[in-house]
């Protein structure tokens, strides 16, 4: 990942607009400002940095909340005065606790992103109180559930039951995501592979 910072058209304050977009769902997460230092830090560390106009200083997204943005790529627009930052958002993007600063309804991609975050958050939960935590602690159970849910989906498809097929597909997606996270394979890695197969 690279960005030609020298080619950017900074304004009189030395800033450019940055639009942060979820690399998985495509949702616009937030709009912020960046100066040369913030963009260079973003490239160097792989974590989004911005310039706070109110505080007059550099800040790393998530430095207090832990809700970091992992940089996928940084792309300037045609006028070279705005940067699109495609990121993997860890936690929520908005200070209000919402997933983004703009949307109130979840997109399909946003739902899957949130599910991935919930699964990761259950890792240290009590397995007696959380089914997800129980799955994450038992590899044999995880693998068996993926196999079981795949078989259930095939049966539903053979029965030509649309409603049941959708329900079984949802079960399979959930269990597959848990199984992947149990092996520390993130949902975003899967989506990167899928994007790489686009024709």
Question: Could you tell me the fold of the domain covering 108-196?
Answer: Helix Hairpins (1.10.287)
- Summarised one tens digit per residue, pLDDT across range 79-121 is 999 999 999 988 888 888 778 888 655 565 667 777 888 898 8
Task: Report CA Rg, the chain.
Answer: 20
pLDDT (0 to 100) of residue 24 = 77
> Same CATH fold, 108-196 and 5-89?
no
Domain boundaries, the chain: 5-89, 108-196
Rounded to the nearest 5°, which phi and psi values hold at 37? -60, -45
117 Cβ contact list (under 8 Å, min separation 6): 90, 91
Model confidence pLDDT, tens digit, residues 48-86:
999 998 888 999 999 988 899 999 999 999 999 999 999
pLDDT for 177: 94
Rounded Cα–Cα distance for residues 26 and 86 (Å) = 8
* pTM attached to this predicted model: 0.61
For 121, the 3-state DSSP assignment is helix
Q: Given a cut of 80, is residue 139 above it in pLDDT?
A: yes
Whole-number pLDDT of residue 14 = 95
More confident residue, 142 or 121: 142
Q: Tens digit of pLDDT for each residue in 119-128?
A: 988 988 999 9
Which pLDDT score, from 0 to 100, does residue 41 have? 96
Q: What is the CATH code for 5-89? A: 3.10.20.810
What pLDDT was estimated at residue 137?
Answer: 95
């Amino acid at each position: 990942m690279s960005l030609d910072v020298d080619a950017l058209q900074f304004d009189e304050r030395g800033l450019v607009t940055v639009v942060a977009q979820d690399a998985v769902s495509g949702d616009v997460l937030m709009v912020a400002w960046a100066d040369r230092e913030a963009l260079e830090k973003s490239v160097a560390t792989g974590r989004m940095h911005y310039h706070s106009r109110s505080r007059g200083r550099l800040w790393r997204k998530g430095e207090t909340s832990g809700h970091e943005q992992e940089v996928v790529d940084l792309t300037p627009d045609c006028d070279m005065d705005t940067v699109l930052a495609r990121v993997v958002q860890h936690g929520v993007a908005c200070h209000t606790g919402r997933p983004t600063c703009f949307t109130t309804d979840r997109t399909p991609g946003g739902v899957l992103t949130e599910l991935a975050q919930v699964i990761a958050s259950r890792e240290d939960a009590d397995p007696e109180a959380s089914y997800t935590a129980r799955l994450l602690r038992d590899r044999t159970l995880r693998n068996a559930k993926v196999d079981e849910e795949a078989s259930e989906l095939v049966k539903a498809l053979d029965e030509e039951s649309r409603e049941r097929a959708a329900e079984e597909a949802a079960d399979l997606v959930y269990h597959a995501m848990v199984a992947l996270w149990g092996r520390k394979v993130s949902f975003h890695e899967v989506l990167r592979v899928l994007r790489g197969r686009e024709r």
